[in-house]
Structure 1
Amino acid sequence: YAHHIQRLMITGNYALLTQTDPAEVDAWYLGVYIDAIEWVEITNTRGMSQFADGGIVATKPYVSSANYINKMGNYCSGCSYDHKKKTGENACPFNSLYWNFLDAKKEVFKDNRRMGMMLNLLSKKGDEEMQEIRDRAKDIIEHPEKF
């Protein structure tokens, strides 16, 4: 069992940021959580967690960096990663995954007013920083066992 906030903020966020196939996320949730009932779980996963319905249920994707995760709970308190760092040796993986996701999907979200502030912040990042973010995100996605 996990509260819906953990499902959204941690596992769902990670799945969306790594652009995992929503069908695989559905199967995982249905297999892992004893209280997962298909008609509820799939609607929540597709509509809220994975933004796979194109914005029918949620008006913006439920994605966040470590900054938000840290503010909303105690998940970062015992973690060896630095929730303030975006890149580098002990930077939290959620940070590079978050900015990489926004960069990859900026055309999809350019007309979404709720994404405007974050896309504006994204546009201010330099080429070198973005390349470091992309490289780290790629490494996390291709080799999750390292993190």
Structure 2
Amino acid sequence: MGGAGTIAISGCLGLFDDEEDEPEEDEPEEEENGEEDEPEEENGEEEAAEMYEVEFLEFDETIEVDEEEALLYAGLDEGWDLPYACEAGTCGQCTARYDGDANEVISHDGNEYLDDEQIEDGWFLTCVGYAEDDLAMETNVHPDDD
């Protein structure tokens, strides 16, 4: 019996060794996955957001604004008193004006207030407006004031 017990133990150890080999095989896959994540990080670096010079005429200041930052928040970050309410592009309280077709320098993400003609006339919403080029803008104005 002693010999059989030894064989059983050896057999069990052999089974455990096989199972231990499997997780080791999984571990390199995890490392490979980690390596796959690195190119994604590199892609994120390659896709770094553009910066644009935006002049806030009312404050006589020009700041660099990331293309991924709404113009309203760029101005608020400077400590400027800018009008806004809904922050969703529906109320028009944050309306600003560019001297030209706003489509040339601004993209909207959620505009439900201004029509296409108003945007072509230079109007845009700072809460959902993102710079696509350098620009100068007038704040604290409203299309109804024309």
**TM superposition score category, shorter chain reference:** under 0.3
Work out which structure has the larger RCO, using CA pairs closer than 8 Å and 6 or more positions apart in sequence: 2
TM-score by length of 1: 0.24
- In our comparison, the structure showing a higher alpha carbon Rg is 2
TM-score by length of 2: 0.24
Q: More helix per residue: 1 or 2?
A: 1
